Amino acid sequence: MRIIKDNRLTYFLNELSGTKEVRIISPFITNIMVDHLLNNFKGSLIKVITRYNLNDFKSGVSSLSALEKLLNAGAEIKSVKDLHSKLYLFDKKSAFVTSANFTNGGFFRNKEFGVLVTESESVEESLFYFKELWGIDASLLNMECIIEWRKIIKLSRTTQKEIEKLPDVGASYSDSILGGRRYFIKFFGKADNRLGLERKVLNELYGGCSHFALSFSKNKRDARPRRYREGDIVFMARMTKDPDDYAIYGRAITYAHNDKRDVANTEDIKHIPWLKDWSILVRVKEPMFINSTFEECPKLNDLVRELKYLSFESTEQNFKKGSGNINPKSSLMQKGDVMLSSTGAQWLELTFKKAIEKTGTVDQQIINSFYQGSKITE
C-alpha cells in the first residue's frame, strides 16, 4: 500500500499504463481528467459511475461535455444518486482509493489524500464494491439523455427567491499557498538562442538581470508592463532546446512598474549590454534560483500537458466564456510573459518547491555579488 498525497495524475497514469479495463467512481467529472484518460488509455473497457444531479452540471462542478466525450469513446456510464465515494480500479492489479474527484480540483488544486493498494484481497473488495454500485442503475447513459438535460439546464431559472448563501469560513489550502497574490511567468531568451538542458542556472545568472529585474523589448508598441503590481509573484523561465521547452529556474516578488524609474540607464547597459534593446524593466526583490542545471528545473511543457487550458488565466477565462483561444501553447505566441491561473500558480509553486528541496538554491552571497541595478527605497 502506498500513501498518495500529491502527484495524483502521475500515479493515475502509471497505473493506467498497460491496463485493459479501467473503472472509475467519482461524483464529479470534468474535461481535463477525461482528456488525460482518453489520451493515455490503450485498453478496451472504460466504466464510470457518477452523479446526474443537473445542479452540478449547471454550476460547473461536473461536466456534461466530459460525459459526452466518454460516451463518444465507447465508455459505459451509470449513476448513483448522492454518490460521494471515489475509486479508481485498474484491471485486478490495483485500486486507488482517494478523496479526489475526477476533476482538475481533485487532481491538481485541492488538498486530497488517498492510498494505492495492490494487495489482491483489497483490490477484489474494491471491485466488489464497484459491481455493487453498478447494479443500482439499470440503464446506461446515452446521448439522448445528455441532449435533454442540456435543454432543461438552458431553460432553468430560479422560481423562488434565492436563499442567501453563507460563506465557507474554513481555511483554504489554495490560499495558504498563493496568499491571494497574482502569478506570472516571464520568458527569457529567443527562439534562435535556445540553451541546452545541461546549462547551469548559475551560468544563466552571469551577465543577466533576472535577479533584479524583468526586461521587455522597447521596440514593441506601448511595451510598458503596467499589469505588474506591487507584490505579484513572477517565475523566470529560459527557452531551452532538445526538446523545445522553457526551464523555470527562478522566482521573485515584483515592484509595480514605474514609467520614469524602470527604464535601463547607461550604467545598467554598461554592465548588461543587451539591455539596450530590452530596456523596459519591472524591478523584483527576494529572488530565489534553483541551484542545478535546467534539466532539473520545472518545465512549462509539463504544466501545460497536465493542466491544459487551466494553465493560464486567459485560456481558463476563454473556456468559461465558451469563446476565444483555449490552446495554452498557441496563446504564448510572441509573448514575453503570461499570467497563470490559480490552478497553474499552485502547480508551479509546489513543483518549484520540490525542485528546491532536491537541489537547494543559489547562494544569496553569490547573487549579491552581481550587478544589482538601481536601488529602490521602500
End position of a domain, from candidates 120, 154, 188: 154
Question: Binning pLDDT at 50, 70 and 90, where does residue 113 land?
Answer: very high
- Residue-wise pLDDT tens digits, 174-212: 787 888 899 999 999 988 999 999 999 999 999 999 999
pLDDT at 74 over 90: yes
Tell me: do 133 and 183 sit in the same domain: no
| Residue 299 domain-assigned (yes or no) | yes
Q: Is 217 exposed, middle or buried (0-12, 13-18, 19+ CB in 10 A)?
A: exposed
Predicted local confidence at residue 163, as pLDDT = 46
Per-residue exposure over 295-306, b if at least 16 CB sit within 10 Å of its own CB, e if not: eebbbbeebbeb
pTM of the model: 0.79
Helix (H, G, I), strand (E, B) or coil at 333: coil
User: What range defines the domain where residue 68 resides?
Assistant: 2-154
Helix (H, G, I), strand (E, B) or coil at 207: coil
Residue 282 sits in a domain whose CATH number is 3.10.590.10
Residue whose C-alpha cell is 480500479: 89
Tell me: do 192 and 100 sit in the same domain: no
End position of a domain, from candidates 88, 121, 154: 154
Tell me: do 265 and 150 sit in the same domain: no
Tell me: do 198 and 123 sit in the same domain: no
CB contact set of 44 (below 8 Å; sequence gap of 6+): 20, 21
| Residue 131 domain-assigned (yes or no) | yes
Distance CA 310, CA 337 (A): 16
Residue 81 sits in a domain whose CATH number is 3.30.870.10
Mean pLDDT for the chain overall: 92
Q: What does the DSSP assignment read for 5-54?
A: SS-HHHHHHHHHTT-SEEEEE-S-B-HHHHHHHHHH--SSEEEEEE---H
The H or E element that residue 70 is part of is helix 64-72
**Is the separation of the CB atoms in 284 and 255 below 8 Å?**
yes
- For 9, half-sphere exposure in the C-beta direction (CA atoms, 13 angstrom radius) is 22
Tell me: do 214 and 137 sit in the same domain: no
Between vectors from CA 348 to CA 345 and to CA 352, what angle results, nearest 5°? 140
Number of domains in the chain: 2
Tell me: do 38 and 182 sit in the same domain: no
Q: What does the block give as the cell for 188?
A: 527569457
Q: What is the mean pLDDT of residues 5-32?
A: 95
Tell me: do 199 and 55 sit in the same domain: no
The more confidently predicted of residues 141 and 374 is 141
